[in-house]
Structure formats: C-alpha cells, structure tokens
C-alpha cells in the first residue's frame, strides 16, 4: 500500500514513529496522520459517500488509533492495524445508520441535481461540462450500487479493488477469516456486475 510519504521515509521510520507515539509523542502521531489521512479519508468516503461524514469518521478513527496505539504490538503492518480501526468505526456507523433508517440521500447526489449545468458557478475545469456531467452520473451510479452492498461487502471490495490489499490483509483488517473475505468478495462482485454491467460495457 502506498502512503503520502516517500517509500524511503516510510521504510526507515514507521515503526520508529509508532514507538515514539507509544511513548506519548504527538508529533510522531502527526506524521503518521499525514501519511495515512488521504487513504483513510478516501476509503471511508467510498463507503459512506458523504464528505462531512467521511471527515468525521476519519477524525474519529485517528483519535481511536491514538488512544489504543500502546496496544499495537507490531505483529502486523501499521496500515493493516489502522485499517482495522477505520473499518470498525465505519461499519459500526453504517450499521447504526441502517438501524435508524434515516434514509438520507448522499450529499453529493443532492449536489448533482442542484447544480445547473449552465450555471456560471460551476467550477472551471479542463473537461467539458457534458463530460463532467456524464462522469458525475457514472460516479453516482457506482456509489448507488455500492450502497446496495452490506457494510462488510463494501469494505472487502474497496480494499481489494482500490487498495490492492491481499486477502490475508483484508481478513486482518476486518477481523475475519480469509475464506469469509473471499466469499464476501464473490457476492459483492456478482452484485456490482449485475448493477453496473451497462456502465462498464459502454465505457
């Protein structure tokens, strides 16, 4: 897995940073946050599809990581360990949201409909407006398809397809067996293939 730091930096000092964090050094923890914040935020965002919630959950995850860093024994890679926290926090949040049955629409989806394509407030980018709209639509379709998956299936498919994590790493991050990971991956892929076939066939 890549981090924001250069590979050399990451190799030399990650364990050292963890040891310093365990001794109460918040500066060292800042460094770890800097390395993983984008990946963590991105992963959470792809699971919850809301920038604000992803921000809060990522904050929550790092805070939990700080509180429990003394328990990190270094038996697994640090990113697997932090992903475990991230997944626990996010899956827990998704489950609570499901129980509440809020049924709130994702803020980005609302945003999409609210933006007038001809509006002067649409940010300037290199892509043409219709291309942007098309892309937004595809992204909305994907996000909608992902919401059809259970929180665990979402976690598995995103870790495998976006993060290129190995089965055993995913299993470690989710606290389940490799067989369970493979099985969840099987059903998640089947479901997404059914829901998104027309999208990927036409690209």
Partner 1 sequence: MKTFEEKWTAWLDGQLSGRELAKFEASLPDKAAAEVEKADARKLRQLLKQELGARTLTNQEFFSHQVHEKIAQEDAEASQSSGRRSATTSTWWTIPRLLWAGTLSLAVFLVCTLFVVHEKTPTEESSYLTQILNARVDPVVSPNATVSMFEVKQDRVTVLWTEGLQSLPADYAAK
The residues of the shown chain that bind partner 1, judged by CB under 8 A, are 26, 29-30, 33-34, 37-39, 41-42, 45-46, 54-55, 58-59, 62-63, 66-67, 135, 138-139, 142, 157-158, 160-162, 167, 179, 182-183, 185-187, 189, 192-193, 196-197, 199-201, 203
118 vs 130, which CB is nearer to partner 1?
130
Shortest spacing between CB 102 and partner 1, in angstroms = 22
Instruction: Enter the DSSP assignment of 127.
Output: S
Cβ 54 to partner 1 shortest distance, Å:
8
Cβ 168 to partner 1, closest distance in Å?
Answer: 11
**Number of neighbouring beta carbons within 10 Å of residue 78:** 21
Looking at the Cβ atoms of 77 and 138, the one nearer to partner 1 is: 138
Would you say 131 or 186 has its CB closer to partner 1? 186
How far is 50 from 107, CA to CA, in rounded Å? 6
Q: Considering beta carbons, is residue 55 or 96 the nearer one to partner 1? A: 55
> What is the torsional sign of CA 167, 173, 178, 183?
negative
The torsion defined by the Cα of 159, 127, 144 and 89, in degrees rounded to 10, comes to: 40
- What's the angle, vertex CA 73, arms to CA 184 and CA 47, rounded to 5? 30
CB of residue 186 to partner 1, shortest distance in Å: 4
75 or 188: CB nearest partner 1:
188
Q: Nearest to residue 2, comparing CAs of 30, 42, 29? A: 42
Residue 157 parent element (H or E): helix 151-161
Q: Which position has the token pair 């870790």?
A: 159
- Closest separation between CB of residue 63 and partner 1, Å? 5
Whether 105 and 97 have beta carbons less than 8 Å apart is answered as no
């Amino acid at each position: 897995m890549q981090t924001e730091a250069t590979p050399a930096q990451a190799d030399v000092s990650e364990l050292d940073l963890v040891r310093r964090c365990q001794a109460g050094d918040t500066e060292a923890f800042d460094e770890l946050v800097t390395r993983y914040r984008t990946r963590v935020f991105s992963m959470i965002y792809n699971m919850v599809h809301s920038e604000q919630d992803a921000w809060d959950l990522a904050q929550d995850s790092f805070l939990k990581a700080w509180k429990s860093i003394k328990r990190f024994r270094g038996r697994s890679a640090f990113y697997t360990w932090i992903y475990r926290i991230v997944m626990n926090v996010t899956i827990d949040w998704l489950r609570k949201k499901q129980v509440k049955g809020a049924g709130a629409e994702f803020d980005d989806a609302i945003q999409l409909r609210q933006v007038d394509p001809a509006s002067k407030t649409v940010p300037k980018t290199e892509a043409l407006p219709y291309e942007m709209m098309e892309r937004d639509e595809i992204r909305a379709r994907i996000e909608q398809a992902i919401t059809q998956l259970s929180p665990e299936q979402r976690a598995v498919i995103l870790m495998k397809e976006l993060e290129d994590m190995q089965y055993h790493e995913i299993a470690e991050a989710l606290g389940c067996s490799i067989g369970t990971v493979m099985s969840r991956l099987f059903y998640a892929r089947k479901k997404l293939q059914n829901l998104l076939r027309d999208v990927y066939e036409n690209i």
